[in-house]
Amino acid sequence: MVEDPVPKRLDWFGEIRRRVSTPLALTPQGAGQMYEAIRAGACDVLNLGGSMRKFVRNCYVAELAGIPVWHGSGAELGIRDMSFIHAAAATRAGTIPSDTICFLRESDLLAEPFQVENGYITVPQKPGLGIELDEDAVKRFRPA
């Protein structure tokens, strides 16, 4: 798959999609563009972000359209990454591995960092997000 091969012009995405067999992924600029991309048949996959609530809501729409998604990320810390993991696990459309990039950090501030095994992260079964803060790391990285 190719993600965002051109600027967010849905007419361009649609033209590429008609000419190439490689699946196209779109990172929409909000729910409005996601809806329009679905109506226009402009993509095969969606890279969605946003809050847990917005992500899950948009996944319901993608599921109805038959479009798989992943939860995009940046260089978030472990708490936010785990919220993405929970949100993706709560959807049927979230079938594409998310781009969790925990390996870029010196610390993710978690007492027990999550592990990626065979491309999967197990969703914790503990209360809340199922994680605990590494209080020593929080103190060590606190701004002076």
Q: pLDDT per residue over 68-84, tens digit each?
A: 999 887 778 888 888 88
Residue 125 in any domain: the answer is no
pTM of the model: 0.84
Per-chain mean pLDDT for the chain: 90
Q: The tokens 């929970």 sit on which residue?
A: 86
For residue 44, the domain's CATH number is 3.20.20.120
Residue 132 in any domain: the answer is no
Alpha carbon separation from 87 to 57, 96, 105, 131 (Å, rounded): 10, 13, 22, 15
pLDDT at 5: 93
Mean pLDDT is lowest, of 9-23, 24-38, 71-85, 129-143, for: 71-85
Strand partners, 3: 25
Residue 143 in any domain: the answer is no
CB-based contact 5:12 (threshold 8 Å) = no
Residue 110 in any domain: the answer is no
Q: Residue 92 belongs to what domain range?
A: 2-105
**Segments in the chain forming alpha helices (H):** 10-19, 31-40, 52-65, 78-89, 135-141
Query: For the chain, what is the domain count?
Result: 1
43: pLDDT strictly greater than 90: yes
Residue 142 in any domain: the answer is no
Residue 11 in any domain: the answer is yes
4-20: pLDDT as tens digits: 999 989 999 999 999 99
Residue 144 in any domain: the answer is no
Residue 126 in any domain: the answer is no
